[in-house]
Amino acid sequence: MKNTFKYIGMTFVIFTSIILMNSCAPTAAISAKGGAILWGENCLRCHNTPAPPDFSDAQWETIGFHMKLRANLTDMEIEKIVSFLKTAN
Ligand code: HEC
């Protein structure tokens, strides 16, 4: 009987941990968004979005650092946006 309670308790702890771990993971919807979509959604909020050919790869890298802070984006989001801009310039 004592062991049954122990077993139930441990199962509860394991399941709760799994649920908590999953709730912190980025949702599929956010992580599935590509650079072009993130660019459209984020870079028009404050100004017109400069077209990809307006800047070189190196300039987009620098602008990415700058606008990541301005737009409050995650590393993953700005990396996707910058790599999209670099493939389209
Ligand atoms: C919160 C507002 C805001 C958002 C969102 C934003 N920008 Fe900007 N951006 C600015 C401001 C303000 C400037 C003027 C330069 C400065 O003082 O930072 C600027 C300038 C620029 C410039 C001119 C070059 C430079 O570095 O000064 C480019 C290119 C640019 N932004 C691209 C982007 C891209 C790409 C995104 C999306 C990742 C973006 N911006 C999102 C506010 C924003």
Distance 78 CA to ligand 1 centre (A): 12
Please write the tens of the pLDDT for every residue from 70-87. Answer: 999 999 999 999 999 999
Q: Tell me, what's the pLDDT at 88?
A: 92
Distance 33 CA to ligand 1 centre (A): 21
Distance 61 CA to ligand 1 centre (A): 13
Give residues (CB < 6 A) around ligand 1: 42-43, 45-47, 50, 63, 66-67, 70-71, 81
Q: CA 45 to CA 14: how far, in whole Å?
A: 43
Contacts of 20 (CB under 8 A, 6+ apart): none
Give yes or no for a contact between 64 and 82, defined as CB atoms under 8 angstroms apart. Answer: yes
Long-range contacts of 59-63 (CB under 8 A, 24+ apart): 60/85, 60/86, 60/89
Please write the tens of the pLDDT for every residue from 49-61. Answer: 999 999 999 999 9
Cα-based angle 72, 73, 74 (whole degrees, multiple of 5): 130
